[in-house]
Every structure is written in structure tokens, then in C-alpha cells.
Chain A
Amino acid sequence: MYQLTSRQFFEKQLPTLLKAAPPADLKGVVEFTIEGDGGAVWWVDFSQKTVTMAGPKAPKFAALVRAQERDFVALVEGRMSPADGLVTQRLHLAGEAVAIAKLAEAIGKIAARAS
């Protein structure tokens, strides 16, 4: 059973983490689509350190992240590594190769800090 919800992560934990130090040198907005109960779509700009719930006007995204609520929480709580998430297809990343590599690294860092 997980401790956190994705909403808590995006509304509270991630803004704090970003304020302390952005975990990725990633330009542009990343869309996180969290599916299942409690899920929502979030837009995160790592360089501007902003987290918002998806709005009506979609920007051009630098990368896309998609996971089920439970898998995403497991990811940010460090119970599932990005590599395992990708191999098992519980985590889907889309984007340019460098951006994806940075994003996977950033998720790893977030998990380390969060735990």
C-alpha cells in the first residue's frame, strides 16, 4: 500500500523539490498523465519550476510520461525504478532521446529525495 497520492506529489512534494533544486536540465514542458483512480494530467516545467494541472491550451511538449496511479506512486516512492517501469511497460515515456534520458534520471533523483 502506498503512502502518497499522485495529486499530493504534484501539488506539494514536487514544487518543494523543484524549489530546492531542479532534478533535470530539461527545457520545455513535460506532460504527466496519471491514469486510474486519483489520476489527472499534470504539466511540469522543470526549468521554470512550475507544476500545473493540465489546462485548455496545450503547449508543445518536450516529453510525455504515462503511468497508472499506483505505478507512478511506486516510482516516486522508489519502489519501482524507471528502468523496471520501462521494461515492464508500467511506465511509458515519450520524447526525444536526450530528453527521455534526462527525464528518467530526474525521476530517479526525485525518488531518492522523496524517500
Chain B
Amino acid sequence: MPIRRNDPSTSTGSTGTRRQTGGASEAPEAPVEQAETKGVVTTSVAEANVTVTQAQRDEIAKQTALKAIDVVTQFKDVKGEAEAINGEGDPRVTARRSAMSLLIAEKSKQFVDLEQVKAIGGRVPDDIAWLMDAERKDYTQQGSNQFSWNRAEGYGASSYIQTEFSTRVKRAETKAASFETGQAKIVDAGDNSVLAAVNIKDPEKRAAALADILLQFRGRVDTAGTKIDYQNNRIDRVGTVLVAEQRMLAAAADLDANDPTKMRELALVSAVIASHPTSSVNSIFDARNTVAEMARLYSFTKSNDESPYEAIHHNFSRDTPKHIANFLGTTMLPAGDAKLRAESFVTLVEAMETARGGDVAKARADVDKLLKKNPGLEGFGELATVDNAQFADKLRDVIASKCTQKIEHDTEKFLSLTAHLYRVVVDSRPSAETLQRDLFRAGDAWGEVADVIVQMGKGNTAGTLRDLGEARVALRDAIIGAKTGYERIELIKLDAQLNRLTNEELGGTVDRIGNVKTDAERAECLLAVQTGLRSAVAMGLEHIVDPKDPAAGKGEGLGVLLAEVDKALAGGKIGEDQYRELMSRVYVASAVVTQNTRSFFDSRTPSLAAANIKLDPQFMDQLAKESPLHYVTALAQKGMTVGLKEKISARSIENVEGMRVLNGVGPVVFTSVVFAESAKELAKMGTSKDQLAVLYKLEEKKMVAVGGLFVDSAHAPGGNSHLNMYAMNNGIPVAALPDLRTKYSEFFQNAGKEGGVYVDDSGGNFRMMTLQKAVEDGLIPGAKVGDPASIEAAIEKLRPGVNRSVSYIKPTSEGTAFEIAAKHEAIINEKRKTRQVELFIPQEQVRGVSHTPTFEELATLGIHARHLAGEKGTVLALLGAHPVLGKHVPKGSEVTPADIKDALKEAIDPKTGKTLDELWTAVWAQDPKIGSVNADGTKETNPNHYLNSAFYTDRQYRAQTIENLQHATLDGLVKLWVKDLPEVKHAVVEGDTLATLTVKYNTTVEALRELNGLKKGDPLPKELRVVPRELTDTGKKLYEGLNRSATLAGSDSWIARSSFTGEDRPGKSGAGQYESYHHLHSPVARLIGVAGVLESTWMPEPVENNVAEQFYLPFIGPTVAVQHCLEPDISGVMISRDIENGARGDVTFQLVHGFGGGVEGGKTTEGVIHQGKLEVKITNGEEGGSAVDVMGTKVTDADMQKLRTIVLETEKYFNEVIEKDKGHAVDMEVARVNGEWMIVQARVILMDK
């Protein structure tokens, strides 16, 4: 064969030449500028240009063939069938068949003469026939008698397998049809089946189904389908069928490297198949026969689900690998780092085998390496002094001494079998040796895979990196080009090995390149980024997107960036600025792909949770860490600092050596810096969105909301860590700085004195300085030195936070659909991420519903009720009509925009003599600066744009205006609805309270107190002055309207609650900023309560927040939800997730005694309600607890489970109706009255906020 890379024109067609995406391989050989030239990075890596010759490839292939022939020859005469039942199959038969399957692979033909192999004799010809029938064919759903190759009898007989298969086919057809028609919301893979996905035709639905299956294979934590079942979960029956299903799935996959949807299918199908414990019939029997052999040497506890014997024989499921790994970690080697035990055990056994084979030096080196990685393994250190001749024996004995149960017979064999079982079922531990063993399974990509083997064998790291990337692209093409399911599966499994090796190599680079100081480190960093990107492209990761995700599909494609990295490597040199900029783009693109993937899977989890499928909340983090992009992110973070010069002074800090920007958001100003050891301390002090938190100890999963975060580099994880994801989702800038506790104390002290901190991480630079210095340096447009007002105004746009794209929505004329009335972008800063917000404009009627509708009437409008009742009123009305939840909602009526408009038109401001309607309208129609205000265009293109108005630009004018409006509104409405009667004197008698007197005289507690000079809690005097009141005719009309609700008509106590149209929407919260009035006993008190809610339209807090966030206030209006006021013994807040880890199906609770209307201070009892289990974390303010006790009031576990059901049902209803298919969590306020839980409020909570 010709030498391939030096003369591409003579390369063989079957092996292929270097791919076009692999620009590095075409790197010019001309000398490039030498390293360390200022401002230039030399990207040439000499080792990466060391090529593998065709002769070397051929040699690897020949060795592979010879090794396989050796195995076949060794075991050629072993009799018996691998599939014999009761574990009587011989593992040597499966080993022989495994080797044989390699020799009959298509690609082995050029190195192996099959006739000569047959001539080995013994059982070989029979094996070939068996393999052709069992392994090298695809199954069909309609096929009959497809398992006749199975010669076992009894439960494992072919007829049983065919029956199992046919049953599953029928079940899958039903599942697929149900899912496609929308009848079923998910595909349940509790039976470990993938067949439903084969039957789903629509690509989007199929992608959703594959996501469901993958989530269940990888992340399902309930026990469905994973218990011992002596018939249905037998490995010889179900395992064989699962392999058949996988082949059909792989064969049916519609793949094309140039089609994003088809690449998504490749990514998902590959992930599903790679998640299956085994993928070949022979390995099924290998596992079964190995564990049977183990059982002859060792007494497993057979009744235990998790015993390896049961996990293989009678409980073969997605949990089988978990159980095997658990056995290794808890029984065989319960020592050292818990996470490394299984892997350590296998390494030690392999070292024992290596020593037994004669290579003691390698065995010693492997043990030494392991002990460095897992230093907690005691007793193995003494091996250093053992003679070579005794090494294998001693190692065996030390391993056996760790085992918690005595190995009764042939210890060494048992250890080897256990390690083998782990490799077959759990983790094949890829290496050059495993790649070589499987080389002929690589199809047309065998040449590229051989390159990797050669490079690894030579220890050429750079060459390995480059060739891994190329091999992955070659394997992708081979997978797509493969004609059969079994070929595709072999390729996918091999690619999974390469992925793991790629990640190990990339991880090694991350460690080696340190702070990327030298040209060699920088070049290796770039080369590793190339490999990582190439792998990600080959895997189709960037195509895992939810088409309904508005944020997906943005940003640069990985392919574009890969081309630029290729160019930079091929060019031999690149400027430091360009290098940083490229790395910065790679970083962003990697983050985008990771978040798109998260969003895709997130879109499926609500439906799975609704189907009571419990998922591991860590799934996405684990998936992200198995992706090459995890390492690309860490590499790019380092690369982004190349050439930056560190400057640290008392007032500014730039480009700190060893720092990493974990999440950058561009220029931002924090007006305050807060220091704390832990997130818990931050919570104790309370933090604001404007604060930069400097946190010395990081607990990734326990972060609280802050504006920005600095952590110590030593504690900050690389890649897509929990912290990184949290920060990205929240738009929180996060930087990791070295020596955080000591290095910058002077700077932070000055920052406190000089108005705060300005941070800018844009353009690949990082700098921060005191706010005052930033102003002096002219970095804050509009801010003038010595002019606090100008500085305050200028930093508005630099405050932490995200941009918003706001749509104002109105109903269509017939009121059955929505349309966008206006849209604007509230951009804090161009470099920030943008959230979509929808606000519903108040309307005077929708489908004929207009004045004081009852909740029942509102519910007939569905979510169109938002225009009449805001979010709170709409949600309560809809939940009130829910067949299950309805009884848990206090009923009531709504004061709507039509009621309010009528009142404003009639009410007169006593001070100006104008109607309130004139005053409210004038704010927008007669702005002193621009006249009539509107939201057309932008403030740059439209002089009348609201953002140019005095109201939005002049704080003083605004403050005066709203103060006047507040007074006018309350005074005008009270006068409209209420009239005073002549004053009377009331002689106080026993039993009188202010509350009872308000009912008697139809007045309010406040009015009585004011008239008599009483403070809250004062004893009543002997005689009270009282001004009795009554409703005016206008007031009576409104009151009667509200009383159309039978609940209100029969209630002695009302609550008037704000329900503004801009309150409680996803991405736009006004919670707590408007007023509500409770315990309203008299008609007058009730309407004054309504007036109070309307007055809060003009309170400073909501107005200032809306102005700061650029919401268009004319489209945000009040409504009032009026309900019966509850008298609960317990109330509290629920969130439909475990807020520490985001787990669905769990409910976080916080309860207080009495009427809370939320949890505001006081002693709380807190915890999480899991399915069937309660976790109490705090009891009445003190840590700990086992049962729910709220200041002496007990709540039973059963009652808490009822609460969980209510909360999860509410979340489900939100996902089905209120925020359809959004998958949001809900935040609810609840109260317990006479033992029944009542829903006081429910709204979306964005867990990523």
C-alpha cells in the first residue's frame, strides 16, 4: 500500500484521504515564525504533523486479525452453546464467537482469508453460521421465527423470545400511534424498549420520543421495569429482544450529514444505543455466562435486586450496569474514593493479569498511576517492595483482602471474571488495545481508527488528538453510509469508545496547558479545540434543538468556527488578539449548544414528570460532561486569556493571571460589593440584583440570586459546571479569580468607597475598576465626574440583568385568538441575553364578558380572561373551574378594566376638580416633554416614543406625578363609592372590637382609629366617636355586581387582591409591589379596599421598576380579584420542584403559622415533599426535624402528600393550559382551612432565574 499522507493521490478509496474539515492535516511544511514572537501565537505543533503511514495501518490490521485468530484457535474445540440456559453456557464460547465476529467483518477481508480461518476446524464453521444468523442480520417487526439460531431450551428457547418480541412489537405500535395522535404525551420506556421510536414517522415527534427514551435510560430513578422478574426480565429472553430492537432503530434512522434534522436523529439514536448495557447477542450471553461462572465460585445474595447475578439473569434492565458497578464499589473494593472504586477494582485486576502475563513493570506502573489518582486505597503501597515473581500473587491477595465477603474458590479467576463482567456490561474502558480489538468493526473508518491506535501506541499526544478528531468524522460518515442496523450499532459503539478517549485526551490537554503561557501550550490548546469541535460536529450535537425554543438556532455554528480553527492551525501563526477573539467565539458557541441541548431535554421533562416518571435532576449535567464541548469550554476559557497582561492596583484590576470568566455579560456596574464565606451567609444578609457577591467558599448547588459573583479559581469548576449553567441561565456574570481572599482587598475596599465596581469582560479582555475610576476614564457614556445625577442616570443601562423582548398582546375581534398589538425590545445592553415576555393588554370586554364577572364566568374565557382579570385573577378563575383543583380555590369576582374605567370617568379629584379618567389619561396624552406618548418604532426613530417622555426620563416629574395620582385616586374613588352619615357617639360595651364596630357602622378600622386617635393594640376607650357610612348608588351598583358570586354573597370577610396585567407573568414579576387588602368585613371597607388596590397603580415601587425595565405602562393596567378571606391555621409557599437541584416531582415547602398570604418573616418549617416521603429541613426556624410541625400545629405525612398532589396537578395544568408546553415550575401560596388545603395563588417561577 502506498504511503497515504505524503502522497494523497495514491491513497486507497476504501480508507479515504484526509477529510476536508481536517485542515490541520494540510498544514504547510514551510517553516513558520518561531515561538514567543510578541503578539503572535505560533500554532504549528510538530508532533501533530507526524503522520501514520499506510504500512503502519496495515500492520495494525494484521495484528488485530492475528490476535483474533489466536483466540479462535485457543478455544476452537470448546463445546456447548453460549445460549444454554441456567448459565451453563461457557464464557470461552462467547470469547471465541466475539473474535470470530471480528474476522468475518467486511473490512477484515483484505487481511484475513476466511477459508483459512474455517480450516482452523473445531467449532469454527459452526460459529460462522451462528454469527451470520444471530449477529449479522437485522430483524423486522413482522418477521416470524427470527430467533431460530437460538438452540437453548426452556425459558430461553427461541419460541419464547419470538413471543416476547411480538408482544413488544404490538405494544410499541400502540405507544407510537398514541404518541403521534397526541393521546399520549410521552413514550414510556419502562420496559427498556426503543421500538416505539421506530414506528413514529414525524421527525419532530420521533426526536421527542428518542429524548423520552434517552431520559429514561439515562436518568430514570423510579423502579419501573427494573425489578426481578423470573420470566419477563430474563436476560436470555429480554436481552436478546432488546438487541433486535436496537438494530431496527439503527436501521430505520434517516441520516444525512447535511441535514440538521437528520443529524439530530444521529445524535439521539447514537446516544440511545450507547446508553444500552449491551448491543450484541453474543455480549448478552457473555454477560450471562460470566456471572453464572462467578456464581459457581461465590455466594451471591440471590434475593437482592442488586446482586449481579439477579441484575443479569432476572432483572436485566437499564439499572443493570448500575447494580454491577455498585457491587464492585460496595463488596469487591469498598475502599478509597467512592466514585472511583469500580474503575479502580478493574484497573487492579488488569494489573494483576498483566503481571501474571509477565509484564510486571507495566503492572507496577499501572498500580502507581492508580494510587496517585485514588490515594485512599490503603495496602497497595506495600507492593512496591514485593519481588517481581511474587507481584501478581501479592496483588491478588491485597485485592481479595478488601472484599467484604470471602471468595470461596479460585480467587484469581473470580476477580478476573468480575472485572470482565464490568467491562462487558458497564464500561469497556476504551484504550488503544480495545480499539485494536474492535478495529474491523469500524467499517470504512478503519484506517482513521488505526491512525489513532498508532499515535496512542507511540505516545504522540498531539497526533492522537488530531487523529481522534478525524476518526470521529470518518466514523460519522461510516454510520450514515452503513446499510444495516447491526453495522450501524457496531460503529456507534466504537464511536462511543472514541468519544471517551477524545474526552480523556482533551482533559489531559486542559491540565497540561496551565495558564497557556508558552506557544507550545497555546498551540496545543488550539489543536485540542479543533478536535473537540470536530467531534461535536461529527456527533451532531449542535442540532439537538427544540424547534419551539425561541432562543435556539442563534449564534455561530460549530462548523464555521471549526473552519476558522483549521485555518489558524494551517496558517502556522495567529495574532494574540485574533486568538483570543476566536477562543471567545468558540466559548460562546459551545455554551449555546449546551444550553440548546438542555432546553431540548427540558421541553420533554414536564410531560415525563406528569406521567409520574421520576428523573435524575443531574442528567443534563452528566450529559454535558460527557460531551467534548465540556472540554472545549474549559480550553476556550483558558485561551481567552492569551496575551493579556495582568494589572492590579488599588483602583483597577485587569486580566488577572489564572482567572477565568465563567459567564460574561459585557460591561456591567455593581453599586455595592458584598463579601461572604458562603451562600448561606449571603442569604442571611439579603442580597440585591445590584450587588456583586464575593464568595470565598462555593457551594455550587446552593447559590442564591445575586447581581454578579466572584469566586476563587481554586473552587471554581471548569466546563459546563452547575455554577456555569446557573450563571448562564440567570444572566449573572461570574468570574473565578485566584487568591480571592487576599489579593484584591485594597481594591474592594476602594470600590466600596468609590460607588461600586465596573466590570467589563467583552472583547476577550477582563477589567474591573471602581465606579469612580470608570467615570474618570470615560468608560460610562453620559456619566460626568463630580455629577452624581449624571452617573446615576448613566449606570442604569449597565446594571446587572437581562434584556427583554416584550410583546403586548390583545384579543382578536371575536375574542378567540390573540394578536400582537405592539412589540418592543427592552435592551439594557446589546451584549446581554434576551428573554421573551408576553403581556396582555387590559380590555373592557372579551366575548361579551365585561363588568364584575364571577370566577366561573371568567373561566369560560380560558386564558383570554387575562385581559379582564390579569394573571392572578385568571389563574384563580381557571383553577377554580378545574375538576380536581376547583374545590381547593376560594371563589370570587373580579373588578375588571370596564368597572375601573366607569369609576374613573365618574370619580372627581377633589383637589383639581377633574375626573380621575382625565388625570390618568393625561399622563400619556399630555406629557410635558413630548405630548402624546406611544410605543411605535424606537425612541431614536419616533419623537413621541414613550421612552422620550418626561414620565420616563425625569425622575422628579415622575415622583410628583404619581404622588398626586395616588392621592387623587384614593380620594376620588372613596368619594364616588362611599358617603358619610352624621357622626354618632358609641358607648363601648363588652365584646366590642373595632372589627365588629366596622360592621355595625359600615366603616373601616382605620377610620375608627383615626377619628379616635387610637394606635394598633390600644384598648378601646369608654366612648367612641363614629362616622357611620354607607355606599353611594354607584358604590352599591359595583358592590351588587361583586355579590353575584354566591361565595362572596355568603362571606363575612373579603379580601381585595391586586391582579395587574403586568404582574406574575413569566419574565415579568410585580409580586408584592401592588397592594392587597384583607379581612374586609363591611361593604364600605370592601370597596375602600378595592380603591386601595387601584391607588397602588401609582405607587413608586411598581412604577419605578417598570420604568427602569422599560415596560410600556399604558398597556399595563389594574384589575382586582375579590375573594372570600380565609382563616387558615397554616399557610405557606410551595414550589413544584426541589429547588436545590431542580428535580421534578418533588415539592419544596415553607410553612408558617396562621394567615400568611405568603411567607414573610417569622419562624418557618421547611423541606421537600418527595413521592411517599417527607424531608423536613427546618422546623420552626431551627435546622432539622422529621415530621411537619408548625408552631405546635402538626401536619401529617398524608396531608403533605395531598399537598404535593395539588401542587403537581397545578403544574400539570399550567403546562397544559395556562402556559402551554412551556414546562415551567409553579410557585404557589396555599393555606389550610379546617384541614383542607386551599390555593391562594399560583404563578410560574422560572427556576433558571
Chain A positions near chain B (C-beta within 8 angstroms): 31, 56-58, 60-64, 66, 86-87, 89, 92-98, 100-101
Of all chain B residues, the one with the shortest Cβ separation from A93 is B675
> Once the chains bind, are B1163 and A95 in contact (CB under 8 Å)?
no
Contact A96 B681 (CB under 8 A): no
**CB of B132 within 8 Å of the partner chain:** no
Across-interface contacts of A63 in B (CB, < 8 A): 685
B278 to chain A, nearest CB (A): 52
Q: Which residues of chain B are near A66, meaning CB under 8 Å?
A: 677
**Structural contact, B752 and A96, CB atoms closer than 8 A:** yes
> When chains A and B are docked, how far (Å) is the Cα of A92 from the Cα of B684?
15
Complex CA gap A39/B575 in Å reads 59
Q: Which residue of B lies closest to A94 (CB)?
A: B676
Chain A nearest CB: distance from B739 CB in Å? Answer: 11
Does any Cβ of A come within 8 Å of B947's Cβ?
no
> Given the interface contacts A97-B672, A98-B753, does A56 sit within 8 Å of B1163 by beta carbon?
yes
B631 lies within 8 A of chain A by Cβ:
no
Q: In the complex, are the beta carbons of A57 and B1161 less than 8 A apart? A: yes
Is A31's CB under 8 angstroms from B1161's CB? Answer: no
5 nearest interchain CB pairs? A97-B752, A94-B676, A98-B752, A97-B673, A94-B681
Task: Kindly provide the distance from the CB of B1047 to the nearest chain A CB, expressed in whole angstroms.
Answer: 35
List 16 interface pairs A-B (beta carbons < 8 Å), by A numbering.
Answer: A56-B1163, A58-B1181, A60-B685, A62-B685, A64-B676, A92-B677, A94-B681, A95-B674, A96-B672, A96-B685, A97-B673, A97-B751, A98-B752, A100-B675, A101-B749, A101-B753
Q: Hey, which chain A residues are within 8 Å of B685, CB to CB?
A: 60-64, 94-96
Partner of B675, one of A31, A57, A97: A97
Contact partner of B1162 (CB less than 8 A), chosen from A57, A60, A89, is A57
Q: Across the two chains, which residue of chain A brings its CB closest to B694? A: A97
Chain A residues lying within 8 Å of B752, measured Cβ to Cβ, are 96-98, 100-101
Residues of B contacting A58 with CB < 8 Å? 684, 1181
Q: Which residues of B contact A100 (CB under 8 A)?
A: 675, 752
Residue B686, interface by CB 8 Å? yes
B745: min CB distance to chain A, Å:
8
Nearest-neighbour CB distance to chain B for A77, whole angstroms, equals: 24
C-alpha gap A57/B1161 in the complex (Å): 8
Contact B749 A94 (CB under 8 A): no
A19 to chain B, nearest CB (A): 27
Contact with A97, one of B748, B1161, B1162 (Cβ below 8 angstroms): B748
Instruction: List chain B residues, Cβ under 8 A from A31.
Output: 684
Q: Is B742 located at the chain interface by the 8 A CB criterion?
A: yes
**In whole angstroms, how far apart are the Cα atoms of A93 and B753 in the complex?**
18
Complex: how many Å from CA A60 to CA B672?
16
Judge whether B1202 is part of the interface by a CB distance below 8 angstroms.
no
A66 to B676, CA, bound (A): 11
Number of B residues, CB within 8 Å of A? 24
Complex Cα–Cα for A61 and B676 (A): 12
Report B-chain residues with C-beta under 8 Å of the C-beta of A97: 672-675, 748-749, 751-752
* Chain A contacts for B1161, CB-based, 8 A: 57
Q: How far is the CA of A100 from the CA of B751 in the complex (A)?
A: 12
Interface residues of B in 192-243 (CB under 8 A from A): none
- Is B741 interfacial (CB 8 A cutoff)? yes
What residues of B have a CB within 8 angstroms of the CB of A62 in the complex?
685
Q: Which of B673, B684, B742, B1163 contacts A61 (CB 8 A)?
A: B684
Contacts of A96 in B (CB 8 A): 672-675, 685, 691, 752
Closest to B747 in A: A97
A residues less than 8 Å from B741 (CB atoms): 89
CA–CA, A93 and B748, complex, Å: 14
A57-B1162, A94-B676 given. 9 additional CB < 8 A pairs?
A61-B685, A64-B684, A86-B745, A87-B742, A94-B681, A94-B682, A97-B673, A97-B748, A101-B752
| CB contact list, B681-738 vs A, under 8 A | 681-682, 684-686, 691
> A residues within 8 A CB of B742?
87
Q: List A contacts of B682 (CB < 8 A).
A: 94
B1181 touches which of A56, A94, A98 (Cβ 8 Å): A56
Q: Which of B674, B681, B752 has the most CB of A within 10 A?
A: B681
The distance from the CB of A44 to the nearest CB of chain B, in whole angstroms, is: 15
Residues in B with CB closer than 8 Å to A56 are: 1163, 1181
Which of chain A's residues has its CB closest to B1181's CB? Answer: A56
CB pair B1163–A94 under 8 Å, yes or no, is: no
0 or 1 for each of B656-692: is its CB under 8 Å from A? (1 = yes): 0000000000000000111111000110111000010
| Chain A residues positioned under 8 Å from B676 (CB to CB) | 64, 94-95
Residues of B within 8 A of A86 (CB): 745
A57, A60, A92, A98: the one contacting B1163 at CB < 8 Å is A57
B681 CB, min distance to chain A CBs, angstroms: 5
Q: How far, in angstroms, from A60 to B688 measured CA to CA in the complex?
A: 12
Bound-complex Cα distance A62 to B753 (A): 17
Q: Assess the A94–B675 pair: CB atoms within 8 A.
A: yes
Q: Interface readout for B1147-1175 with A: 1 if CB under 8 Å, 0 if not? A: 00000000000000111000000000000
Query: Which residue of B is nearest A28, CB measured?
Result: B685
What's the Cα separation between A86 and B694 when bound, in Å? 15
Find out whether the CB atom of A94 lies under 8 angstroms from the CB atom of B686.
no
What's the minimum C-beta distance from A103 to chain B, rounded to whole angstroms? 11
Tell me, rounded to whole Å, the shortest Cβ–Cβ distance linking B1183 to chain A: 13
How far in angstroms is the closest Cβ of chain A from B41? 38
The docked-state distance in angstroms from the alpha carbon of A57 to that of B1164 is 10
* Min C-beta distance of A112 to chain B, whole Å: 20
Q: Mark B739-759, 1 if CB is under 8 A from A, else 0.
A: 001100100110111000000
User: CA separation between A113 and B748, bound complex, in Å?
Assistant: 28
CB-CB < 8 A to B675: which residues of A? 93-97, 100
With A and B bound together, what is the CA distance between A97 and B751 in angstroms? 8
Complex: A58 Cα to B1161 Cα, angstroms: 8
Smallest CB-CB separation from B692: which chain A residue?
A97
Residue among B685, B742, B745, B1163 having the largest count of chain A Cβ atoms under 10 Å: B685
| Alpha-carbon distance A92/B677, docked complex (angstroms) | 8
Bound complex: CA of A55 vs CA of B673, how far in Å?
28
Q: How far is the CA of A33 from the CA of B741 in the complex (A)?
A: 20
Contacts of A98 in B (CB 8 A): 752-753
Which residues on B sit within 8 Å (CB–CB) of A64? 676, 681, 684-685
Which residues from B are CB-within-8-Å of A87? 742
* CB–CB B686/A60 < 8 A: yes
Min CB gap A88→B, angstroms: 11
Q: For the complex, what is the distance from the CA of A62 to the CA of B687, rounded to whole Å? A: 11
Nearest opposing residue in chain B for A100, CB measure? B675
A84 to chain B, nearest CB (A): 12
Q: Give B1162's nearest chain A residue, CB to CB.
A: A57
The distance in angstroms between the C-alpha atoms of A7 and B551, with both chains bound, is 57
- Shortest CB–CB separation between residue B414 and chain A, in angstroms? 50
Q: Name the distance in Å between A52's Cβ and chain B's nearest Cβ.
A: 16
A11 nearest CB across to chain B (Å): 23
Minimum Cβ distance to chain B for residue A30 (Å): 10
Q: Once bound together, how far apart are the Cα atoms of A77 and B338, in whole Å?
A: 46
The CA-CA distance from A21 to B1181 in the complex, in Å, is: 35
Q: Give A63 to B676 CA distance when docked, in angstroms.
A: 9
Residues of A within 8 Å of B686, CB to CB, are 60
* Distance between A24 CB and nearest chain B CB, rounded to angstroms: 14
Closest to A66 in B: B677
Select from chain A the residue with minimum beta-carbon distance to B685: A61
A30 to B753, CA, bound (A): 20
- The residues of A that contact B749 with a CB separation of less than 8 Å are 97, 101
Residue of A nearest to B1161 (CB): A57
- Complex Cα distance, B681 from A95, in Å, reads 9
- Roughly how many angstroms separate A63 CA and B752 CA in the complex, as a whole number? 14
Min distance, Cβ A27 to any Cβ of chain B, angstroms: 13
Query: Chain B: which residue is nearest A62 at the CB level?
Result: B685
A86 to B751 alpha-carbon distance, docked (Å): 18
A66, B685: Cα distance in complex, Å: 14
Please name all residues of chain A whose beta carbon is closer than 8 Å to the beta carbon of B674 when the two chains form the complex: 94-97
Per the bound structure, the CA–CA distance linking A50 and B753 in Å amounts to 27
A94 touching B677, Cβ below 8 Å: yes
CB-defined interface of B279-321 with A at 8 Å, one 1/0 digit per residue? 0000000000000000000000000000000000000000000
Bound Cα distance A42, B1181 (Å): 17
